[in-house]
A and B are shown apart, each in its own frame.
Chain A
Amino acid sequence: MGIKIVSRQLSGEYEKVLRREQRSFMTGNEVVAWAALAAGADLMYGYPITPQNEIMHYWARLTPHFGRGFLQTEDEMSAGFAMPGGALVGKKTFSATAGPGNILMQEPIAMAEMMRIPGVWIIQQRGGPSTATVIYSQQELRLTATGGNGEGLRIVYSTASHQELFEYTIKAFNSAWRYRFPTFVLGDGYQAKMREAVTLFRPENRGWELVPAEPILCLPGVPARDRDPVHLRNTFNLEEELYTRLMDQLAVYERIAPEVTEWEAEVPPEPEVLLVAHGIVARAARQAKESLNRQGWKVGYFRPVTVRPFPGQALRQIAAASPNLRLLVVESAYGQLLAMVKAELYGLTNPVDSLLKPGVGITAEEIAAAVDQTEEGEAVS
């Protein structure tokens, strides 16, 4: 055909896609790649697994035009351990994985927790346990929120639309580098592959400040003379050393939790039922709430946006204000969100029902029908 468009020209064209802020028809995985670009991510380390593959594909396609980097490692452990290397020299690094890949990455993520090294992980949940299905689930909630051999010192945003995938991916980079805790965007196979309209933008054009990535190691000056030495550790000789260090980190985490925690709540006066769901299922729950409200049901809706830290206090206040309020927890897993909700409601007497469908999608109609059928709840004890 003989038409050669050099990559320099294309970077300008791709830049226009971000700057003109037009509605685009996209898959969620693509949205994440563009979000990482807009967030100023420098490097992606990744290993293929469905349903996140197109995050890698689009990142690898776009980055040559923007001078960013991509490395496909030999497995997820390697990708996870390469990330802190990039972060230590001042690069914004990220990865994307799912299912068994999420399990393998927990070891490097736990190291990043212990050493307070920032990084962003995108999780597109697939069916489990093991390789199960490549399609969809919400079964990686517990693993993503508290995986690793520790207390889960991490931030996890659970998204419900392509616009949120774009905006929370950018936000995840800011949170990771502001607080220096591993930060996650918890999506799923449906969000990864489904197509819907989204507005991409340059965060700077919306007044969003991007937290810079500063080098953590090899700082200027002589250690101990000009500055404190940087001594990042994930191994300790004594119980007391670990205890002291960990209690400091837990205190930091608890201090930042209130400003990090996000949720959505819509509660009518004198509510009878409160739908509790996260991620894509929350979108169906919200539709169900609206349709039930039109039929005269006093149904409310609560969605944790951060599933770690969990907005437990906000949920507890709603439940405590209406002792007869029945909660209906809905998730594409067998009781992972339910367990988190029950832990937060300890001591209250609100009945808690659930609609649990591990590994399959849940429609607004199914949720509305479950509310309709709900007679006797199970008391929290």
Chain B
Amino acid sequence: MRRVLEAYVGEYASGKSENAINRGLRLVRAGRRVRLVDLDLVEPAYTLRPLKRKLEAQGLQVLAWETKELIGPGEAAIPLKKEIVSALAFPGDVIIDVGYGVEGRRLLNLIEGGFAQANGEEALRLIMVVNTTRPVTSSLPLILAYLDEFGAVDGLINNTHLGEETTVELIQEGAVLVTAAARRVGCPVLATTALRPYARQLGSVDRMGNPVWPIERFMSGAFW
């Protein structure tokens, strides 16, 4: 069976962690073995750690620090968990949550095989999450500029929302922008992701024909 190896990247607060968690759980529910990796070294341990046990109870293997294991000078430096270096050496799917925008991409060189070029079926795919209500990715030129700065990605996800003020129309407008950007750079839009009530209203595909993946919120249980 072909392994799913994906790293979720993108602008700060675009929904990377939420999408990585939901992707991991979707694969678990499809009967696959899945490892979720916290590679946020800038706000280390604040994203997935508080959710670790809850996610593990749902069948995900989570590579992130435990509260009782944590030592060190707080935000100034937290050591990389040694298992994360060899995160891809796992006989199942690996989903990596890469923190903090453009800088986050550089962290992938800490993962053995993280920058391997298409190596048969075993290349890590970079999935960029885009929310078009984030000011720095709020128009086509701005998304293209962001992609240009970031470098090549293997697919985009439209995760447009406005928190409690989200509307279906807003998500559809996001889909139009993200699809236009994907066409310009020649990569696919993997999906539009939306919380279940919106996903139900959107149907199985968005206005641009991209699949709609319903997601659940987990990050409200994290510190930030």
Contact = CB atoms under 8 A, between A and B. Distances in A.
B61 interface: no
In this complex, which of A5, A26, A61 has the most chain B Cβ atoms within 10 angstroms of its Cβ? A5
Contact of B135 (A5, A34, A134, A189): A34
B163 interface: yes
Contacts of A133: 74
B133 A61 contact: no
B144 A3 contact: yes
B224 A194 contact: yes
Interface in A134-163: 134-135
B141 A9 contact: yes
A61 B139 CA distance: 17
A135 B34 CA distance: 30
Interface in B34-56: 43, 46
Contact of B134 (A24, A50, A54, A196): A24
A34 B46 CA distance: 25
A360 to B, nearest CB: 11
Contacts of A193: 223-224
Q: Chain A: interface secondary structure?
A: mixed
Interface stretch (A10-18, A168-176, A345-353): A10-18
Interface in B99-141: 131, 133-136, 138-139, 141
Given A3-B147, A9-B141, A197 B12 contact: no
Contacts of A22: 133, 138
Contacts of B131: 25
Given A3-B144, A23-B162, A27-B12, A13 B139 contact: yes
A10 B136 CA distance: 10
A10 B164 CA distance: 29
Contacts, number: 78
A5 B75 CA distance: 34
Q: How large is the interface on B (under 10, 10 to 19, 20 to 34, 35 or more residues)?
A: 20 to 34
B134 A25 contact: yes
Contacts of B89: none
A355 B136 CA distance: 40
Contacts of A131: 74
A27 B2 CA distance: 38
B84 interface: no
A144 B164 CA distance: 33
A25 B13 contact: yes
B142 interface: yes
A13 B148 CA distance: 16
A13 B18 CA distance: 28
Interface in A328-356: none
A272 to B, nearest CB: 32
Given A54-B12, A135-B223, A26 B135 contact: yes
B152 A1 contact: yes
Given A25-B133, A196-B163, A197-B163, A10 B145 contact: yes
Interface of A: 1, 3-5, 9-10, 13-14, 16-17, 22-27, 30, 34, 50, 54, 61, 131, 133-135, 189, 193-197, 200
Interface of B: 12-13, 43, 46, 74-75, 131, 133-136, 138-139, 141-142, 144-145, 147-148, 151-152, 161-165, 184-185, 223-224
15 contacts: A1-B152, A5-B141, A10-B141, A13-B139, A13-B145, A25-B162, A25-B163, A27-B12, A30-B135, A50-B74, A135-B223, A135-B224, A193-B224, A197-B133, A197-B164
